[in-house]
Amino acid sequence: MSAEHDDFATEPVEGLPETPPEGEHILWQGRPDWWALTRDSLNLGWVAAYFVALALWRFGMLVDQVSVASAFAASFPFLILGGIAAALLLLIGVVQARSTVYTITNRRVAMRIGAALTVTLNLPFTQIANADLTTRRNGTGTIALELLGDTKLSYLVCWPHVRPWHIRHPQPALRCIPDAETTAGLLAEAAEARVNAPQVARTETPRPTAVAAE
């Protein structure tokens, strides 16, 4: 099963590029929390703080030379630019969250991601080496999936649905999902059951070859 699939066709099942095969069923589906995604993956707080710092720096440089009102008027454009940047990041966060569907079945993790270019990642449990959970106080969290060495993914294609700064070996991630701890437990149980399930292989028994009597 390939790790990447360009998904331009109509989905037979939301979040999946095709109808699950016989024996596979969906255990959980969800989307990122848009506010948490904007804050954590798009660094909304850092961007806002940057423009506030610029405005304060500009104000401090001018307040000794001109009136307080003039100094504030000169620094206020930085706050306007910061508000515009924050609004754009919020819009991107909302669009990214609404276009994303994470799916956990009894056999794999599927990630329908991308706003402009929709891509579906199909990650069978047999390709997942480890899963790492990080949570926040409000219950949202991220489940990062460490893949086996022969699975190749693009960090840029997957962003922001990847573990931050793991560029050389990208780890796709279920970013900023609500009730992440419960979802991580469900994923662990499903993966353990799938990996430990006995695999029955069918082999043909060779027929005995007749030997002519001498």
Q: What is the mean pLDDT of the chain?
A: 85
| The pLDDT of residue 161 | 93
The C-alpha atoms of residue 92 and residue 85 are separated, in whole angstroms, by 11
Task: In the chain, list all ranges with CATH 2.30.29.
Answer: 4-10+106-195
Q: State pLDDT tens for residues 125-153.
A: 989 989 999 999 888 999 999 998 777 78
Q: What is the CATH code for 4-10+106-195?
A: 2.30.29
Q: How confident is the model at residue 214 (pLDDT cuts 50, 70, 90)?
A: very low
The pLDDT score that the predictor gives to residue 6 is 46
Mean pLDDT to the nearest integer, 175-190:
93
Radius of gyration, alpha carbons of the chain: 25
Grouping H, G, I as helix, E, B as strand and the rest as coil, residue 187 is: helix
pLDDT at residue 16 in the model: 83
Share of the chain above pLDDT 90, in %: 52
The predicted model gives 172-180 an average pLDDT of 94
Q: What pLDDT is stored for residue 109 in this prediction?
A: 94
Residue 48 pLDDT exceeds 80: yes
- With a CB cutoff of 8 Å and minimum separation 6, the contacts of 19 are 12, 13
Distance between CA 143 and CA 77 in Å, rounded? Answer: 39
- 133 close to 181: Cβ distance less than 8 angstroms: yes
Residue 19 burial by Cβ neighbours in a 10 Å radius (0-12, 13-18, 19+): exposed
Binning pLDDT at 50, 70 and 90, where does residue 154 land? Answer: confident
**Lowest mean pLDDT segment, chosen from 104-108, 121-125, 192-196:** 192-196
The 10s digit of each residue's pLDDT in 75-88 is: 999 999 999 999 99
The pTM of this model reads 0.79
Reply yes or no: is the peptide bond before residue 208 cis, omega within 30 of 0: no
Question: Is the pLDDT higher at 51 or at 7?
Answer: 51
Q: How far is CA 18 from CA 14, 15, 87, 183, 208, in A?
A: 9, 9, 36, 23, 44
**Which segments of the chain does DSSP mark as H helices, in order?**
34-41, 44-62, 68-98, 155-158, 180-195
> Which pLDDT value is given to residue 68?
83
Cα(183)–Cα(30) distance, integer angstroms: 10
Task: Please give the span between the terminal C-alpha atoms of the chain, in angstroms, as a whole number.
Answer: 54
